[in-house]
Amino acid sequence: MLQQYYLKKGNRPMTSRNKPIFSIIPIGGLGQIGSNMTLISGMTESLIVDCGILFPNEDSYGINYLIPDLDILEQSSPSSLIITHGHEDHIGAIYHIIKKFPNIKVLASPFSSKLIERKFKSQKISVKIHPIRPREEIIFSDFSVTPVQTNHSIPETFGLFFKSKLQSFCSLLISDFKFDDKNPYESPMDLNYIKNISQNFSKRLLLADSTNIKSKNEKTPSEGDLITTFESLFSQNYKRIFVTLFPSNIFRQKTVIQTAKKFNKKVIPYGRSVENYLETAIDLKMIEDESGIIKSVKSINSKDDNLVIIISGCQGDFKGALRRVASGEDPYFKIQEGDLFVFSSTPIPGNEKKISQIMNKIYESGGEAITNSDCLVHASGHPGKEDLKILYDAFNPTDIIPIHGESHLLNAHKDFINELFPDIKAHVIYNFNSLLIDNNLEITTINDPPKPPLFIHGKEVLLEKDCLKQRRKLASSGCLFISIKIESLGKKRANLKLEFFGLPQLIQDKEDEIKWLINNYFAKTKIKLFEKSKEELKIEIRRFCNKLLGYKPIVFIHFI
Amino acid sequence: MLQQYYLKKGNRPMTSRNKPIFSIIPIGGLGQIGSNMTLISGMTESLIVDCGILFPNEDSYGINYLIPDLDILEQSSPSSLIITHGHEDHIGAIYHIIKKFPNIKVLASPFSSKLIERKFKSQKISVKIHPIRPREEIIFSDFSVTPVQTNHSIPETFGLFFKSKLQSFCSLLISDFKFDDKNPYESPMDLNYIKNISQNFSKRLLLADSTNIKSKNEKTPSEGDLITTFESLFSQNYKRIFVTLFPSNIFRQKTVIQTAKKFNKKVIPYGRSVENYLETAIDLKMIEDESGIIKSVKSINSKDDNLVIIISGCQGDFKGALRRVASGEDPYFKIQEGDLFVFSSTPIPGNEKKISQIMNKIYESGGEAITNSDCLVHASGHPGKEDLKILYDAFNPTDIIPIHGESHLLNAHKDFINELFPDIKAHVIYNFNSLLIDNNLEITTINDPPKPPLFIHGKEVLLEKDCLKQRRKLASSGCLFISIKIESLGKKRANLKLEFFGLPQLIQDKEDEIKWLINNYFAKTKIKLFEKSKEELKIEIRRFCNKLLGYKPIVFIHFI
């Protein structure tokens, strides 16, 4: 399979001296933040690592999320999908993978499985998920994969160690990670395993996270480092403390719950997302002591003070509980003087302004807000330069592909490698490029152009690019719907109806003038083709509007 | 006038013992970034300081900008509008002020006047602007105003010193400033004047800039500090150097032009905004040596190397020259290996993602990018804490109103004052609040709720809030137009036309089913009122779509 692919790309026919044995094609996540997905192929079998979604920009025109164009997967018909961890940018597109490959085998950790199953339930599909565990090797036809324990901002995050059966080649894909030996809730990254196993191979290819390569934090703080800050905050004389965080960060939720207990405060999870993740963690016995948790917000009253509210919406989402509370629209929580809001999170690029607006509303209502720039209330899940060095030291790679990051970060990661590790070869590739390893352990890259991502709106429905363009036009110019009765065209005044939508009063007041303009057109024009008249009328009406407004609304005309 | 206002607000009738003598009402700029505007009133005369616009969010639905609701100004009928400096968030809404008060006297510095006149030209209005200069007092009925030289990121930025004629009260409004004694192109802030004049008054109210109160830079760097960086960059072996900057920063343009000349590089201003500001600066002899400037991009060819391009679009604007070049759509400049892009600017909150996407495109095309986090290529125009201290020391205020900033920044500014200057009273007020000083020099604040800003689209046309809501609906759900011929209703199949816009193929394929649904409705329903049928049909069709799509499109129906 890999050989056909290689030939198809216009390469010289292979001899036994350069036969590709392994290939890596990133389908998403390289050059952008989100939609992480990688196609890994041995000589006769392919698998997909992760299948995430990309969150849309602000001007999303209703789009819920984006996914990579999956057509490229067809020629490989992957046998399996392996999930490294349960974040949406790694599991969110699983519905679309299963629709395309109904028989694909899905492998994930117990916690990730639970999150995927929750997703399946709402999407009304059902697929068996095979559990995977660290150090337990999974065998494929000519290579194997072994999950490796690592640390991140969600439990059960794995690196994947690929081992060729035939050649002295191995590869370690660690999409999202940090090295955290002070996390009280999980063991640190399994450096011993990485160190021991990699030394048996002469070619060692590492794929590693570039997210924080430009961060000022050389070493990413530990989840454990935050406990002191929370203890200090919870010991102070605040009325109520709202903590907003990435809800999938069960460690963080645990820290908040345990610290609250220490200071005799009750905890309320508030917002669907926080509640769901917490429930999953409790189900899996990741959180065992529930005694301080109030399950229903209805059981408290507005005078209750000694409360910690873990609240959804840390990215300022319009429908999030945090925005609702901040803007005074929440039925249960109204901000009072003495309330503290802890932003135990960081803005995902693009959300800065929304979050800032929420902070403004908190202050305008008499509350106070603390972010990570005031004190250590958030620890990233991604590696600083020091974390990367720890990983490089353990795996001792001959080659690195910077992954998980925008293009400028992948390049900064490459510069970092070139500067500090001149013996390691860094390969910057982007989505839809391929990297091939042949039987001489030589690496070739093929730079196919990336295909644009697909837009998903509503019940996992594809919204074609043209429709999105139409929505953009509607959004920025409003519309005018005109129906004209054909039989009335001979008369002095045609029978016609006008309806404005999304257009200012200024032009709505000109209805009579637009009607006059239409009648005048019919008076001077002999109609041969309705389609032609429609276009001519549209041009006239749009021109009329443009003179008054400075822009042209979309005009629809029906002759009936 | 001020007394009537005071009474109207439900205050106790005034005696001669507490008669307001001066009031400050921020109309914009407090609690948000942008649309700076302040109404200042003495006992018998009012004036407006600045009249800026607010830039819309990403999801702007065509909106060009927002302005404050100006109705509040009517009861004061301000005699004058004084401009502190020529940035759009201080002059952008001048058209709307002049439309409301055609006889208002406009006062501005020569450079600001030139910028306003350019605006008037495109808006086809004409108003005489009266020049103001530092230290030249302007007399009003019971107070005077004196412009004070300060530093910012645009030439001729003034503070305004207000002096009561009757009482020992003065106020200094310094909207945007920093203290820059190393700017080679203008003199530093006039601390001597501030120091000397303020000491004659017992009540000294300062209004000062909060933009950078949370900045890590305690002292804002000087424009002069950047020269070394540019010299170092221009001396290196880059092919072409694109410098993107805030085009109104004439100092920065000058630094780039002079440094380019030093290294024998030609300079091309590229993009309308950069070209316009540069032209204005040359007209006013702010830039005297034009010898190294290439005026027309047409005179160069793609092989020319030794070039510095000053390029518009540092905020990632969709129509900006920078985005066009980065995405390969520009007719003159295609990115080549060895090209450097210098982001000599900072992202305005909300634009981070757009700018990051441009950086990605630069790297994907083989270019390289440098921002202020790599080396000092940008100096803010706003004060760090050290700059604020310098100003406080000179003016020695008894009271401070933190201005120019989002609510959380105004509060941080207050905390800073309380902590370091416990003798100064900080007053946090928001837009549409009033601060009154009475003849006992006591300060009262009245917390009127703010009025929401107005949306402007196209040729300065107001877009009503409802229309914006309609556009939002169109944008996020698409629409379906249906016209039904009344005469055909008795027949087996009604004569009807359907048109989809912004809707996915999935639902477009269901045209026949929707037609069947409509005919079925007519078959079973006796039509009495078309309006009622229209609503019932809309509900049925929207429900049908919702089942398939997971959302309800906007449906328009015409019976004709």
User: Which residue among B350, B369, B502 places its CB closest to the CB of A408?
Assistant: B369
Contact A474 B472 (CB under 8 A): no
Q: List pLDDT tens digits, range A252-278.
A: 999 999 999 999 999 999 999 999 999
Is A95:A104 a contact under the CB 8 Å cutoff? no
Question: Containing H/E element for B404?
Answer: none
**Position B369, amino acid:** A
User: Which residue among B430, B501, B504 places its CB closest to the CB of A364?
Assistant: B430
Residue spans of alpha helices (H) in B50-128? 88-91, 94-100, 110-123
In whole angstroms, give the CA distance from residue A485 to residue B483.
10
Q: How far does CA A413 lie from the centroid of its chain?
A: 21
Exposed e or buried b for every residue in A323-341, given b needs 16+ CB within 10 A?
Answer: bbbbeeebeebebeeebbb
Contacts of A31 in chain B (CB under 8 A): 360, 364
Question: If you average pLDDT over residues A484-513, what whole number do you get?
Answer: 94
pLDDT for res A8:
65
Contact B504 A558 (CB under 8 A): no
Burial of B487 (0-12, 13-18, 19+ CB in 10 A): exposed
Question: Containing H/E element for A30?
Answer: strand A30-31
Contacts of B551 in chain A (CB under 8 A): 62, 457-458
In whole angstroms, give the CA distance from residue A359 to residue A363.
6
CA distances B456 to A201, B15, B67, B453, Å, are 65, 44, 7, 10
In whole angstroms, give the CA distance from residue B530 to residue B558.
9
On average, the pLDDT of chain A sits at 94
The secondary structure of A428-497, three-state, reads CCCCCCEEEEECCCCEEEECCCCCCCEEEECCCEEECHHHHHHHHHHHHHCEEEEEECHHHHHCCCCCEE
In whole angstroms, give the CA distance from residue B189 to residue B407.
27
Token pair listed for B156: 């001729």
In whole angstroms, give the CA distance from residue B205 to residue A398.
66
pLDDT for res A14:
56
pLDDT level of residue B494 (50, 70, 90 thresholds):
very high
> Which residue is closest to B496 within chain A, CA to CA?
A560
- In angstroms, the separation between the Cα of residue B364 and the nearest Cα of chain A is 7
Token pair listed for B55: 């830039």
Place of tokens 């609702």: A324
Mutate to test the interface with B, among A64, A216, A556, A560 (most CBs of B within 10 A): A560
pLDDT for res B300:
85
Q: DSSP for A106-150?
A: EEE-HHHHHHHHHHHHHHT----EEE--TT--EE-SSEEEEEEEE
User: Which residue among B361, B458, B551 places its CB closest to the CB of A550?
Assistant: B458
In whole angstroms, give the CA distance from residue B220 to residue B232.
21
- In angstroms, the separation between the Cα of residue B214 and the nearest Cα of chain A is 9
pLDDT for res B169:
96
A8 backbone dihedrals φ, ψ, rounded to 5°: -55, -30
Residue A409 half-sphere exposure toward CB, CA atoms < 13 A: 24
Token pair listed for A277: 């993740």
In whole angstroms, give the CA distance from residue A35 to residue A33.
7
Contacts of A503 in chain B (CB under 8 A): 467
Question: Containing H/E element for A558?
Answer: strand A554-559
User: Which residue among A62, A363, A410 places its CB closest to the CB of B411?
Assistant: A363
**E strands, A319-430, where?**
340-344, 368-370, 399-403, 405-406, 425-426
In whole angstroms, give the CA distance from residue B48 to residue B39.
5
Taking one residue from A and the other from B, the number of pairs with CB-CB distance under 8 angstroms is 206
User: Which residue among B59, B468, B474 places its CB closest to the CB of A474?
Assistant: B474
Contacts of A32 in chain B (CB under 8 A): 360
pTM over the 0.90 mark:
yes
Percent of chain B clearing pLDDT 90 (strictly above)? 87
Rg (C-alpha) for chain B, rounded Å, is 29
Residue B152 has pLDDT above 60, yes or no: yes
Contacts of B407 in chain A (CB under 8 A): 359-361, 363-364
Interface ipTM: 0.91
Contacts of A462 in chain B (CB under 8 A): 504-506
Contacts of A467 in chain B (CB under 8 A): 478, 502-504
Contact B502 A464 (CB under 8 A): no
The secondary structure of B443-457, three-state, reads EEEECCCCCCCEEEE
Contact A406 B356 (CB under 8 A): yes
CA distances A456 to A293, B503, B509, B524, Å, are 36, 12, 18, 36
User: Which residue among A458, A497, A549 places its CB closest to the CB of B549?
Assistant: A458
pLDDT for res A197:
93
> Which residue is closest to B459 within chain A, CA to CA?
A550
User: Which residue among A349, A479, A549 places its CB closest to the CB of B459?
Assistant: A549
pLDDT for res B2:
67
3 state DSSP class of B235: helix
Taking chain B, what is the end-to-end CA distance rounded to the nearest angstrom? 57
Contact B57 A58 (CB under 8 A): yes
Contact A364 B502 (CB under 8 A): no
In whole angstroms, give the CA distance from residue A358 to residue A326.
6
Contacts of A416 in chain B (CB under 8 A): none
User: Which residue among B360, B467, B504 places its CB closest to the CB of A502?
Assistant: B467
pLDDT for res A321:
97
On average, the pLDDT of chain B sits at 94
Residues contacting residue A486 through CB under 8 Å, at least 6 positions apart: A530, A559, A560
In whole angstroms, give the CA distance from residue A209 to residue A380.
12
In whole angstroms, give the CA distance from residue B63 to residue B472.
12
Q: List pLDDT tens digits, range B498-514.
A: 999 999 999 999 999 99
Taking chain A, what is the end-to-end CA distance rounded to the nearest angstrom? 57
pLDDT level of residue B433 (50, 70, 90 thresholds):
very high
3 state DSSP class of A24: strand
**E strands, B50-156, where?**
65-67, 80-82, 105-108, 129-131, 138-139, 143-150
- In angstroms, the separation between the Cα of residue A227 and the nearest Cα of chain B is 25
Token pair listed for B133: 């200069």
Contacts of B372 in chain A (CB under 8 A): none
Place of tokens 């324990």: A149
Contact B58 A57 (CB under 8 A): yes
User: Which residue among B471, B506, B549 places its CB closest to the CB of A478?
Assistant: B471
pLDDT for res B295:
86
pLDDT level of residue A123 (50, 70, 90 thresholds):
confident
pLDDT level of residue A490 (50, 70, 90 thresholds):
confident
- In angstroms, the separation between the Cα of residue B55 and the nearest Cα of chain A is 12
Is A53:A92 a contact under the CB 8 Å cutoff? yes
Contacts of A504 in chain B (CB under 8 A): 457, 461-464, 467
Place of tokens 């609906």: B473
Mutate to test the interface with B, among A472, A483, A499 (most CBs of B within 10 A): A483
Quickly count: other Cβ atoms within 10 Å of residue A302's Cβ: 10
Q: List pLDDT tens digits, range A408-459.
A: 999 999 999 999 999 999 999 999 999 999 999 999 999 999 899 999 999 9
Closest to A360 measured CA to CA, from A309, A396, A317, A316: A316
Q: List pLDDT tens digits, range B229-247.
A: 999 999 999 999 999 999 9
Closest to A481 measured CA to CA, from A493, A464, A506, A498: A498
In whole angstroms, give the CA distance from residue B373 to residue B181.
24
Residue B174 has pLDDT above 80, yes or no: yes
Residues contacting residue A259 through CB under 8 Å, at least 6 positions apart: A227, A230, A231, A234
Q: Is the model more confident about B105 or about B305?
A: B105
In whole angstroms, give the CA distance from residue A8 to residue B125.
65
**E strands, B179-306, where?**
203-209, 240-245, 266-270
The residue count of chain B comes to 560
A24 backbone dihedrals φ, ψ, rounded to 5°: -130, 120
Contacts of B464 in chain A (CB under 8 A): 504-505
